[in-house]
Amino acid sequence: MSGLVDMTLNRKPRHNKANWTLPIIKGTAEGEEFESVVDHIIENIIENCTAEMERKVGSAVSETVSNVKLHAYPSADNDSNNKAWWLMCSEIEGSLYLAIYDSGVGIPKTIHKRSWISDFIVNSAPHLVKAWTSHRDVDKINISMEAGRTQTKEKKHGKGSKSIRALVEETPDGKLWVFSNNGLYQIDENSAIHLVEHESSILGTLVQWNIKIRD
């Protein structure tokens, strides 16, 4: 259903709309490909979609992709072909699932390079000081998500995590997983946050979220 076999054999994925599954899409840091994802979700998955739901899903998808450009690859690398991401989405038992993976440096490697986050911690979130000095990847992910949730002054920073969190927290049974390097940040269906540090790295970042779209 995902089109993985076709991609492996370098064939164009065959899309069976009866499965309501979007074949795996490979995109670049430029991110224009997300429009086809939004169109597929609106046209084939969400029935009688309201303007508000279309706005929320569109914002979350586009900013999920934007996060790849923000955290995944060093800005000095100008070769877009080396800044790839892979995305798929599907409806499973009445919930919309979306997952995106990139093989970049990961969220934990970029946190200390963003001066606005250290300012945010000092001025607004002193409880994150311990996480700032931690060696655990999951603590760095937690900082990124918390800063993204509350940051409003910086137009280009944090909007992805803010919109994704809003989407999963404001809809029934919404969940979010952010795997990056060794860390896992999870929001469950009760909006509770779970932090897990794994022994091995995912070698990049995998973000998956799901929302209930029908009973």
**What is the spatial order of strands in the sheet that 175-180 belongs to?**
21-27, 85-92, 95-102, 205-212, 175-180, 183-187, 193-197
pLDDT band at 185 (very low <50, low <70, confident <90, very high): very high
- Across the chain, what does the average pLDDT equal? 76
pLDDT band at 15 (very low <50, low <70, confident <90, very high): low
Q: pTM here?
A: 0.78
Query: What's the pLDDT tens digit per position in 129-167?
Result: 888 889 999 999 988 888 766 553 344 444 445 567 777
Scanning the structure block, which residue is given the tokens 């946190």? 111
On the CB side of 190, how many CA atoms lie within 13 Å of its CA? 2
Of the given ranges (16-30, 36-50, 159-173), which has the lowest mean pLDDT? 16-30
Cβ–Cβ under 8 Å, residues 93 and 35: no
On the CB side of 171, how many CA atoms lie within 13 Å of its CA? 24
pLDDT band at 182 (very low <50, low <70, confident <90, very high): very high
Strand 205-212 versus strand 85-92 pairing type = unpaired
Residue 159 confidence (pLDDT): 44
Q: Could you tell me what percent of the chain has a pLDDT over 90?
A: 18
All domains of the chain, ordered by start, with CATH?
4-212 (3.30.565.10)
Cβ–Cβ under 8 Å, residues 71 and 205: yes
One-letter amino acid of 107? I
Cβ–Cβ under 8 Å, residues 72 and 66: no
Residue 196 confidence (pLDDT): 96
